[in-house]
Amino acid sequence: MTRFTANLSILFTELPLLQRPAAARAAGLEACEFWWPFPTPTPSDSEVDAFASAVTDAGLQLTGLNFAAGDMPGGDRGLLSSPSESAAFRDNIDIALGIADRLGCKALNALYGNRVDGVDPNAQDALGAENLALAAAAAAKQDAVVLVEAVNSIENPRYPLTSSTDVIAVLDRVGSANLKFLADFYHLARMGENFDEVLSVHFDRIGHVQIADVPGRGEPGSGTFDFAALFDDLDVRGYSGLVGLEYKPTVASADSLGWMEKHRQ
């Protein structure tokens, strides 16, 4: 049976961020993940304390955390391959890992970053590999993995990793054992990839799975994706990890969870 973790940067947005863990727990969820939950890559101690308390007081397990990724609403999709943002990413590594360690979180997502006008893509890729290696080495010290995902070019035209093959090439370039593929099947499906083919070819490289229905990124049942078949395939292949709910509810967040009961363990 499939186990779920809710991304509370995109679910329960009816509430302020620090109120979402309690609301998620009241709705029956036991685990959560977040995009970077602070306005800057270097939050104050009080901001970190408030975030950690919101998660632990709610009785949720934090299972995933993004490294700082810039101004996401403004179109940023990561810092690590941008020469002007590289230092901010490196400064964020220990901060993000410190929060993860405090909350028992063992997976951190590193968004690769958009292409930058006037910068050689090869230079960006070299910098990206260098920074991913640094993040992976730091994460390994606390038995954590660093995740890299493909993002669809329909909504993110400047993001260079748009397929499972793109991500695997980056993982191979870096070569760190704890650098894993985040298989976000919303983005992969938007790019025309078939989940069975992705799992057949890359299953051993997958460190986490995320879902949303297509094409609208709503909850399962709001679109055309065959989630029952995906979950069955994951079970048959022995996937023991969580499935992240990274969708935009088409109804109230708590009401959007009804589909989940027949699949949860």
Catalytic residue ranges: 149, 246
Q: HSE, CB side, 13 Å, CA atoms: give it for residue 202.
A: 28
The count of residues in the chain is 265
Answer whether 70's CB lies under 8 Å from 38's CB.
no
Token output for 13: 């947005």
Answer whether 209's CB lies under 8 Å from 240's CB.
no
β-pair type (31-34, 243-245): unpaired
User: In a 3-state reduction of DSSP, which class is residue 61?
Assistant: strand
What contacts 69, CB < 8 A, 6 or more positions away?
Answer: 35, 36, 76, 77, 78, 79, 111
Query: Cβ of 125: how many Cβ atoms within 10 Å?
Result: 16
What contacts 81, CB < 8 A, 6 or more positions away?
Answer: 112, 113, 124, 125, 127, 128, 131
Answer whether 147's CB lies under 8 Å from 157's CB.
no
Which helix H or strand E contains 30, and what residues bound it? none
Instruction: Give CA–CA dist 71/45, Å, rounded.
Output: 21
Backbone angles phi, psi at 63, to 5 degrees: -110, -10
Answer whether 213's CB lies under 8 Å from 189's CB.
no
